[in-house]
Chain A
Amino acid sequence: DAEITQSPRHKITETGRQVTLACHQTWNHNNMFWYRQDLGHGLRLIHYSYGVQDTNKGEVSDGYSVSRSNTEDLPLTLESAASSQTSVYFCASSRVGETQYFGPGTRLLVL
């Protein structure tokens, strides 16, 4: 069955380290999104992509980057992790103009 997966599911890192969170979907969706979820803020868009080689900043993109080298993957990189980036991260994908489907999430703790 087609699906969207995230890895790792849990990650503990130290301030200043580079961290990469993986997102992989097998639906062949053009659109992929990264969100963070924090208490009191709901889901906030970090970065998104409409296809290979396309990336765009969301509302909370500072300190994060993404790259899209193929249709299936959109890794999220924290260049220098900060305690403020402790959060739960969700990846989602969709066809053009269609519903977004979410992955199971990655819980990140930055010490």
Chain B
Amino acid sequence: GENVEQHPSTLSVQEGDSAVIKCTYSDSASNYFPWYKQELGKGPQLIIDIRSNVGEKKDQRIAVTLNKTAKHFSLHITETQPEDSAVYFCAASRSSSNTGKLIFGQGTTLQVKP
């Protein structure tokens, strides 16, 4: 079945360093890839997303890259800050249909040490 693999499961960086989280998806028809940030005790919040007609998207310190050939996409956080500490989830779906169903990765716990 459809699957999204996310790595690493945990990531610890020093404040100011960059963090990279990688995801691989199995469904070649997937064309929408959101990233969510989940803080302790809260629901996942969308931080950035990318569609298959774009190879890269950036929003301030956050960027996402997509390689459709390899079925691989990544989240890049630059100049990390302690408030970036959270669990990050990648997801994939076929947005062109009305399924809207997201297949989530297992999550990455990011710790930014001051």
Contacts and interface: CB of A to CB of B under 8 A. Distances in A.
Given A99-B49, A102-B43, A104-B42, A42 B100 contact: no
A98 B95 contact: yes
Contact of A99 (B34, B96, B97): B34
A48 B95 CA distance: 15
Contact of A105 (B36, B42, B89, B107): B42
> Which of under 10, 10 to 19, 20 to 34, or 35 or more describes the interface residues of A?
20 to 34
B54 to A, nearest CB: 15
A90 B49 CA distance: 20
Contacts of B98: 31, 50, 96-97
A33 B100 CA distance: 9
Interface SS of chain B:
loop
Given A98-B95, A99-B34, A100-B102, A42 B46 contact: no
Interface residues of B, number: 22
A43 interface: yes
B44 A102 contact: yes
B104 interface: yes
A102 B44 CA distance: 6
Contacts of A45: 101-102
Contact of B106 (A33, A40, A50, A101): A40
Contact of A103 (B36, B43, B96, B97): B43
Contacts of B97: 97
Contacts of B32: 97
Interface of B: 32, 34, 36, 41-46, 49, 89, 95-98, 100-102, 104-107
Interface of A: 31, 33, 40-45, 48, 50, 58, 90, 94, 96-105
Give 8 nearest A-B pairs by CB, closest first.
Answer: A102-B43, A97-B95, A43-B104, A42-B106, A31-B100, A42-B104, A102-B44, A104-B43
